[in-house]
């Protein structure tokens, strides 16, 4: 009995021990897989980014804020501003809106010649290029026209003349052109140089896919200096450029901005018209809105397509033209006798600010342009999320945003099967990196987000130095982009898995 009692006691102890550490695994609590995911603060600290990081994340369907950091801090949006401009233009002009470039004749055609003037009338089309002008010229020739007895006139008054989008950019930045109602090749001229013995040959042309006529509206002189690399002077009816010989190497090419876009368009049209058998005199500017008989027209792609390409390639001129056109459509006759010239880039941006406040409830914003190129534009991440989560916005802008590739576990390669999907608009300025749009997690939950990183003191120092690529800017921006992907990966797994 004694042995049995001891044995029973021992068996009881063993049974209790077995019960405490069962060989059968217990079910893990819900969300157990999320415990190992780093916090947002840990990711930001590990990024080593200088300056400030702001983000906001909300449920796209309800607008419920899920996570935020400095959500009302106003920072430069960079090209994320183009998402706001896109919605502003789409809601104002409509997805099917098109720009038209027309050719008018002020007199009848006799023996192939217009008995009067031929007028190239710009409608503001930001996508117009040399090939399209050649197609327009071919239509003029198909109408039986081979020349004019009068003048060749150009009109660019459909939009105000904007000397440059941002006066803080380097003078030779091709992404900072002049804007008018007649724009060709994004108002850029193609400069190409090749070493020829001890010297160089240079070429300035209006390059497109099929046509590349040489132009005289922009000239280039090679200067015996080291700095500045490029210099520009307003010549007599043309842009006079010079380039430092020491910067040329063996050869190369780049785009430079055009400061006389209407005359540039006129010269290009004259050249492609000549190739189509039409003789035109040198272009002159038309005074006042032209009248006459329309003999040919070129239509742009529909607005929705232009927006999609603008968001993909982040073309500043397109954004400014769309924003200005939307503002002019809204103010209409209110511009008065001055017409489009009564609107400035800043006043147009202010009109977009007012629309965003009234339509979307955005409260922490102050855009100075429509492209985000100007560093003086500011908006909060909470406002950007408010925009993307607003009723009716996702069906409008979602299909036009570009897909953002997510990295694999190593962070070095794209993972095409990544469970987190992102469509968004990127933005980059020196020491500014932004991303905003929609993120979808593994369980299909859709969230609106915005992530801004900016080191404004470093940006101010870079602008004061005047360098085209400031020291440290690339490192900052690459680190910011890495952090953005890490935050998106975190949010997809924390809130949607």
- Which residue reads 């003349």 in tokens? 161
Q: Quote the mean pLDDT of the chain.
A: 92
Helices (H), 369-452: 381-389, 393-397
Q: What is the pLDDT of residue 8?
A: 39
- The answer to the question of residue 32 being in a domain is no
Q: Is residue 206 part of a domain?
A: yes
Residue 7 predicted with pLDDT over 80: no
pLDDT band, very low/low/confident/very high, at 468 (cuts 50, 70, 90): confident
DSSP state letter for 451: E
Residues 488 and 374 in one domain: yes
Q: Is the pLDDT of residue 425 over 60?
A: yes
Q: Give Cβ neighbours of residue 455 (< 8 Å, ≥ 6 apart).
A: 49, 50, 51, 52, 431, 432, 476
How confident is residue 465, by pLDDT bands cut at 50, 70 and 90? confident
What dihedral do alpha carbons 400, 405, 406, 407 form, nearest 10°? -170
* Residue 483 vs residue 36, higher pLDDT: 483
Whether the predicted pLDDT of 418 surpasses 80: yes
Provide the percentage of residues in the chain whose pLDDT is more than 90: 84
Give the domain CATH number at 213. 3.50.80.20
Count how many Cα atoms sit within 13 Å of the Cα of residue 343 in the half-sphere of its side chain.
Answer: 32
Structure tokens at 388: 């993307």
For 298-334, letters b (16+ CB in 10 Å) and e give: bebeebbebbbbbbeebbbbbbbbbbbbbbbebbeee
142 with 268, same domain: the answer is yes
Output the pLDDT for position 469: 81
Closest CA to 134 of 29, 242, 269, 252: 269
For residue 17, tell me if it sits in a domain: no
Residues 308 and 357 occupy one common structural domain: yes
Q: How far apart are CA 206 and CA 493, in angstroms?
A: 50
- Percent above pLDDT 70 for the chain: 92
What pLDDT is recorded for position 2?
34
- What's the pLDDT at 18? 41
Asked whether residue 111 falls in the same domain as residue 258, the answer is: yes
At 359, list the tokens.
């339509």
Task: Please name the residue ranges forming H helices in 231-331.
Answer: 261-275, 303-313, 316-331
The rounded distance, in Å, linking the Cα atoms of 192 and 217 is 15
Render pLDDT for 233-266 as a digit per residue (tens, 0 to 9).
998 899 999 999 999 999 999 999 999 999 999 9
Confirm if 177 and 188 have CB atoms less than 8 A apart. Answer: yes
pLDDT band at 31 (very low <50, low <70, confident <90, very high): low
Domain coverage including residue 151: 100-299
From 21-35, 175-189, 440-454, the region with the lowest mean pLDDT: 21-35
Look at residue 15 and tell me whether its pLDDT is greater than 60: no
Closest CA to 176 of 185, 167, 184: 167
Question: Is the confidence at residue 424, as pLDDT, over 80?
Answer: yes
66 falls within a domain: yes
Phi (first) and psi of residue 339, to 5 degrees: 65, -140
**Residue where a domain terminates, one of 252, 269, 299:** 299
Q: What is the pLDDT of residues 85-142, one digit of tens each?
A: 999 999 999 999 999 999 999 999 999 999 999 999 999 999 999 999 999 999 999 9
Residue 320 and residue 463 in one domain: yes
Q: Are residues 483 and 414 in the same domain?
A: yes
What backbone torsions phi and psi does residue 427 show, to the nearest 5 degrees? -150, 135
If you average pLDDT over residues 221-232, what whole number do you get? Answer: 94
Evaluate whether 126 touches 432 at the Cβ level (below 8 Å).
Answer: no
Positive/negative CA dihedral, 108, 110, 112, 118: negative
Report pLDDT for 287: 87
Categorise residue 56: left if φ over 0, alpha if ψ from -120 to 50, beta otherwise: beta
Question: d(Cα 273, Cα 271) in Å, to the nearest integer?
Answer: 5
Identify the domain boundary among 299, 329, 352. Answer: 299
Tell me if 18 is assigned to some domain: no
* 308 plus 451 within the same structural domain: yes
CB 254 within 8 A of CB 247: no
Give the pLDDT confidence score for residue 340 in this predicted structure. Answer: 83
Q: What is the pLDDT of residue 467?
A: 76
List, for residues 370-416, the tens digit of each pLDDT value: 999 999 999 999 999 999 999 999 999 999 999 999 999 888 899 99
User: Per-residue pLDDT tens for 188-222?
Assistant: 999 999 999 889 999 999 999 999 999 999 999 99
**Are both 238 and 314 inside the same structural domain?**
no
Handedness of CA 358, 361, 366, 371 (dihedral sign): negative
* pLDDT confidence bin for 333, thresholds 50/70/90: low
Distance from C-alpha of 349 to C-alpha of 277, rounded to nearest angstrom: 43
According to DSSP, the residues that pair with 425 across neighbouring strands are: 436
Mean pLDDT in residue range 294-308: 98
Integer Cα distance of 127 and 493 in angstroms? 41
Q: Are 136 and 103 in contact (CB under 8 A)?
A: yes
Q: What is the mean predicted confidence (pLDDT) over 263-277?
A: 98
- In 10 A of CB 250, how many CB atoms? 8
Full DSSP string of 51-67? SEEEEEEEETTT--EEE
Judge whether 336 and 342 are in contact, CB under 8 Å: yes
pLDDT at 117: 98
Residues 89 and 108 in one domain: no
Question: Among residues 278, 299, 320, which one ends one of the domains?
Answer: 299
Are 196 and 117 within one domain?
Answer: yes
CB 131 within 8 A of CB 208: yes
Assess if residue 10 is contained within a domain.
no
Give 191's contacts (C-beta < 8 A, 6+ positions apart).
202, 203, 204, 218, 220, 241, 243, 253, 254, 255, 256
Within 206-282, strands assigned E span 218-223, 230-234, 239-244, 251-257
**pLDDT confidence tier of residue 358, bands split at 50, 70 and 90:** very high
Can you name the residues that pair with 110 across neighbouring β-strands?
113
What distance in Å separates the CA atoms of residue 261 and residue 189, rounded to the nearest whole number? 10
Asked if 183 contacts 128 with a C-beta cutoff of 8 angstroms, the reply is yes
Residues 83 and 104 in one domain: no
Q: Is there a contact between 407 and 413 (Cβ–Cβ < 8 Å)?
A: yes
In the chain, the number of structural domains is 2
Residue 284 forms beta bridges with which residues?
153
Whether residue 32 has pLDDT greater than 60 = no
Q: Return the CATH number at 78.
A: 3.40.710.10
Alpha-carbon distances of 149 from 112, 132, 281, 400, 452, rounded to whole Å: 10, 25, 10, 47, 58
Asked, for residue 11, whether it belongs to a domain, the answer is no
Apex CA 178: angle with CA 176 and CA 184, to 5°?
100
Nearest to 153 by CA among 289, 278, 277: 289
Q: Tell whether 189 and 271 lie within a shared domain.
A: yes
In a domain, 30, yes or no: no
């Amino acid at each position: 009995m004694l042995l049995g009692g001891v044995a029973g006691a021992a068996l009881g102890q063993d049974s209790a021990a077995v019960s405490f550490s069962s060989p059968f695994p217990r079910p893990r609590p819900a969300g157990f897989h999320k415990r190992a995911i780093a916090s947002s603060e840990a990711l930001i600290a590990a990024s080593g980014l200088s300056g400030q990081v702001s983000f906001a994340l909300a449920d796209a369907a309800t607008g419920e804020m899920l996570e935020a950091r400095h959500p009302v801090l106003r920072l430069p949006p960079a090209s994320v501003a183009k998402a706001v401009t896109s919605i502003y233009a789409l809601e104002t002009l409509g997805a099917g809106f098109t720009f038209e470039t027309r050719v008018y004749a002020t007199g009848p055609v006799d023996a192939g010649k217009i008995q009067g003037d031929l007028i190239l009338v710009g409608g503001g089309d930001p996508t117009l290029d040399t090939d399209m002008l050649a197609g327009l010229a071919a239509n003029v020739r198909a109408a039986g026209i081979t020349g004019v007895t009068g003048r060749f006139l150009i009109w660019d008054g459909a939009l105000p003349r904007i000397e440059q989008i941002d006066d803080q950019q380097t003078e030779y930045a091709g992404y900072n052109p002049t804007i008018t109602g007649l724009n060709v090749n994004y108002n850029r001229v193609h400069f190409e140089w090749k070493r020829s013995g001890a010297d160089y040959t240079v070429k300035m042309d209006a390059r497109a896919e099929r046509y590349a006529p040489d132009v005289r509206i922009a000239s280039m002189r090679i200067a015996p200096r080291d700095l500045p690399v490029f210099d520009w002077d307003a010549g007599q009816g043309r842009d006079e450029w010079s380039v430092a010989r020491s910067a040329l190497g063996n050869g190369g090419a780049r785009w430079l901005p055009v400061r006389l876009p209407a005359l540039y368009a006129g010269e290009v049209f004259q050249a492609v018209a000549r190739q189509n058998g039409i003789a035109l005199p040198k272009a002159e500017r038309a005074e006042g809105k032209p009248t006459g008989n329309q003999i040919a027209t070129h239509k742009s792609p529909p607005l929705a397509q232009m927006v999609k390409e603008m968001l993909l390639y982040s073309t500043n001129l397109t954004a400014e033209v769309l924003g200005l056109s939307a503002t002019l459509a809204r103010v209409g006759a209110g511009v008065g006798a001055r017409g489009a010239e009564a609107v400035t880039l800043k006043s147009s941006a202010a009109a977009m600010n007012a629309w965003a406040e009234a339509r979307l409830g955005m409260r922490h914003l102050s855009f100075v342009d429509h492209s985000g190129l100007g560093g003086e534009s500011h908006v909060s991440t909470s406002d950007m999320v408010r925009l993307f989560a607003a009723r009716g916005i996702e069906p409008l802008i979602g299909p036009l945003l570009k897909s953002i590739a997510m990295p694999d576990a190593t962070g070095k390669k794209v993972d095409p099967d990544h469970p987190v999907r992102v469509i968004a608009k990127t933005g980059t300025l020196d020491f500014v990196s932004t991303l905003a749009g929609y993120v979808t997690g593994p369980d299909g939950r859709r969230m609106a987000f915005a992530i801004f990183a900016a080191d404004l003191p470093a940006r101010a120092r870079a602008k004061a130095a005047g360098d085209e690529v400031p020291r440290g800017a690339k490192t900052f921006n690459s680190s910011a982009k890495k952090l953005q992907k890490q935050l998106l990966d975190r949010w997809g797994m924390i809130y949607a898995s």
